[in-house]
Structure 1
Amino acid sequence: MHNEAVANKTSSTGLRWLWLSVVVFALDQITKLTIAKTFDLYERVEVTPFFNLVSVRNYGAAFSFLSDAGGWQRWFFTAIAIFVSGLLLWWMKKTPANQKWQAIAYALVLGGAIGNVVDRVVFGYVIDFLDFYVGSYHWPSFNVADSAICVGAVLLVLDSIFSPQPKDSK
């Protein structure tokens, strides 16, 4: 009986998309570990005229923010990500199943956040390997987790703009 109640609660809320968080996390970890095992640090392989695979370490946050701060940032960003992950789970639980795009967005951000937290806890840095560029200008390297977080954030913005808003009852 208890399992049925849990299954019903999961299928009737945004928690039904937790599998997507698991997929994002798995893809993120598999790709990072593959790069770590097959590339030397800073090794770069040209894939297209605008994209390289590269092995770099990010000791900071997005775009290497605070990467040279002395080490405290590792635990600071880990704590923030764990807190945000808890919030995302709570929001997913509170999101009705019919608000699909919002729940998908939360799941993407959650999977990415956990992927980067695992790197910070295990290695002390996040493994980045996707390098896009135009001419000599390179976008800061990133990974699957970062991509999922960005796509999830964009989906949240789009959902807030295009989803019908409840009418005020006056």
Structure 2
Amino acid sequence: MNPARLGLLALLATLVLDQASKLRLYLGTDLVLTQPWRLGPYAEFVVVWNRGVSYGLFQQEGGLGRWLLVALSLAAALGLGVWMHRTNSRLLAAALGLIAGGALGNAIDRAAYGAVFDFVHLHAGGWSWYVFNVADAAIVAGVAGLILDSVRPERRHGASREARPPV
């Protein structure tokens, strides 16, 4: 499979899994009324509406901020998609697809509900992580893929060969 197709597959899988999980939990269950749902000693499902960006930063209460964040997400997904189609690296294409799919999934929530539906809460003892969703997890995995792609030995050696004049 070529890199662009792999990236598109990652994007579509992320988008479908994200939206399916949100729709199932929000519309297909009584989670809103009966939360939290304990999944084990370290995880639970809860309902959190995030009107900001990552980690709840830049909360937007008004319509203008909401639509600016939607536009920013769409522009980012478009730029990532162009990059994804230009790369020859399967890892980079998959990482970009995960990030773009996550951005689109959260943009859909923001457009439909005015906020992003987050529901996974991880915790242990006194430690608590931010509440997140499938799109957020895909974005984090995609960023990890970007970092891995940037430090791969063959990538570094290839870049250094291109920078050196032929002998």
Please give the range of the TM-score, normalised by the shorter of the 2 chains: 0.7 to 0.9
Shift >4 Å, 4+ stretches = none
Structure 1 residue ranges without an equivalent (≥5): 1-10
CA distance in 2, matches of 1:59, 1:80: 14
TM-score for the superposition, normalised by structure 2:
0.87
Partner of 2:25: 35
- Check if 1:134 corresponds to 2:129: no
Partner of 1:70: 61
Counterpart of 1:70 in structure 2: which amino acid? E
Partner of 2:71: 79
CA distance in 1, matches of 2:3, 2:41: 44
The 8 Å contact of residues 41 and 55 in structure 1, kept in 2 or not, is answered as no
CA distance in 2, matches of 1:148, 1:117: 14
Counterpart of 1:14 in structure 2: which amino acid? A
Structure 2 residue ranges without an equivalent (≥5): none
Q: Kindly, what percent of the aligned residue pairs are identical?
A: 31
CA gap of 1:41–1:161, structure 2 versus 1, over 3 A, is farther
Give 1 or 2: higher helix fraction: 2
- Check if 1:94 corresponds to 2:86: yes
Partner of 2:164: 169
CA gap of 1:46–1:79, structure 2 versus 1, over 3 A, is same
User: How many residues of Structure 1 are paired with residues of Structure 2 in the alignment?
Assistant: 157
CA gap of 1:29–1:148, structure 2 versus 1, over 3 A, is same
Partner of 1:157: 147
TM-score for the superposition, normalised by structure 1:
0.85
Partner of 1:116: 106
